[in-house]
């Protein structure tokens, strides 16, 4: 069975001291059977790279698509690689609605060029779900990866489940991930597919038991060592059997 992936998107949270404390606790864990990724804000990446156990992989929450130049405030994929990142989130719903698909396509291509593995987030809003548009929305979001042969992680994150405390039902996740996998196959893209949106220790077992799901992208529960480690442990145990 493939190694499950559990990634923590810290979003705009934590300062140096609180992040150091969190990483120190994460360093004590045994990680063999799970790919564990932390995604701190840019300000904490350098510190995280220097103190995190090297079995914990580092990811950024965003990047620009240019290699370098006069783009004040932006960070390039090459800079992220330079600082020790292996992954980068592209298209998180908290940003996607502002920037749109064309820019995301460029970011995916730039990540590939730099050797980063993108965690490409897709998902429908509540309004799109209610209007029965989920499949067409996901198709459109997946269309931008056409012709991009690259290592990729896709995270299915229904926007209505993010930060609400209420995850999608496992049956819904399973059916949606089936659909996503079918579309990826049609495009000839090989990708791991994660679920994200209110993953917590309480629901992690049910999610981890669904083998179509390759892992979890965790927000709020990733900011606390105990809940994050419980989620990792659950994936480790469930996928071992």
Q: Where does this chain bind ligand PGA (CB under 6 A)?
A: 9, 157, 162-163, 196-199, 217-221
Phi-psi region of 154 (alpha: psi -120 to 50; beta: other; left: phi over 0): beta
Q: Which is nearer to ligand PGA, 34 or 199 (CB)?
A: 199
Return d(Cα 185, Cα 183) in angstroms, integer.
5
Instruction: Quote the least distance from Cβ 188 to ligand PGA, whole Å.
Output: 27
What Cα–Cα distance (Å) separates residue 91 from each residue in 1, 51, 100, 186? 28, 28, 8, 21
Q: Which of 27, 87, 84 is nearest to 55 (CA)?
A: 27
Instruction: Quote the least distance from Cβ 138 to ligand PGA, whole Å.
Output: 16
Q: Which is nearer to ligand PGA, 30 or 126 (CB)?
A: 126
Torsion sign, CA atoms 116, 117, 119, 122: positive
| E-only strand ranges, 126-204 | 152-156, 191-196
H or E stretch including 1? none
Instruction: Quote the least distance from Cβ 163 to ligand PGA, whole Å.
Output: 4
Q: Which is nearer to ligand PGA, 66 or 86 (CB)?
A: 86
Instruction: Quote the least distance from Cβ 219 to ligand PGA, whole Å.
Output: 2
Q: What positions carry a catalytic annotation?
A: 92, 157
Q: Which is nearer to ligand PGA, 59 or 77 (CB)?
A: 59
Distance from CA of residue 11 to its chain's centroid? 11
Return d(Cα 222, Cα 78) in angstroms, integer.
26
Instruction: Quote the least distance from Cβ 221 to ligand PGA, whole Å.
Output: 6
Half-sphere exposure of 9 (CA within 13 A, CB side): 28
- What length is written for the chain? 241
Token pair belonging to 161: 């489940």
Residue sitting closest to ligand PGA (CB): 219
Q: Which is nearer to ligand PGA, 59 or 196 (CB)?
A: 196
């Amino acid at each position: 069975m493939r190694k499950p992936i559990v990634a923590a998107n810290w979003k705009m949270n934590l300062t140096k001291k609180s992040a150091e404390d969190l990483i120190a606790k994460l360093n004590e864990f045994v990680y063999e059977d799970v790919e564990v990724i932390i995604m701190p804000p840019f300000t904490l990446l350098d510190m995280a790279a220097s103190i995190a156990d090297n079995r914990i992989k580092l990811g950024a929450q965003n990047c620009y698509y240019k290699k370098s130049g006069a783009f004040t405030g932006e960070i390039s994929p090459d800079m992220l690689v330079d600082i020790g990142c292996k992954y980068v989130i592209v298209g998180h719903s908290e940003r996607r609605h502002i920037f749109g698909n064309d820019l995301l396509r460029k970011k995916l291509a730039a990540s590939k060029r730099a050797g980063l593995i993108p965690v490409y987030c897709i998902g429908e809003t509540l309004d799109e779900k209610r209007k029965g548009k989920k499949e067409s929305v996901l198709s459109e979001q997946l269309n931008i990866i056409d012709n991009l042969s690259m290592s990729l992680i896709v995270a299915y994150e229904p926007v209505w489940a993010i930060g609400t405390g209420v995850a999608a039902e496992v049956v819904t996740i399973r059916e949606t991930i089936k659909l996503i996998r079918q579309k990826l196959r049609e495009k000839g893209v090989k990708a791991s597919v994660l679920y994200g949106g209110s993953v917590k220790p309480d629901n992690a077992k049910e999610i981890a038991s669904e083998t179509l799901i390759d892992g979890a992208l965790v927000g709020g529960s990733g900011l606390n060592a105990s809940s994050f480690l419980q989620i990792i442990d659950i994936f480790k145990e469930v996928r071992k059997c």
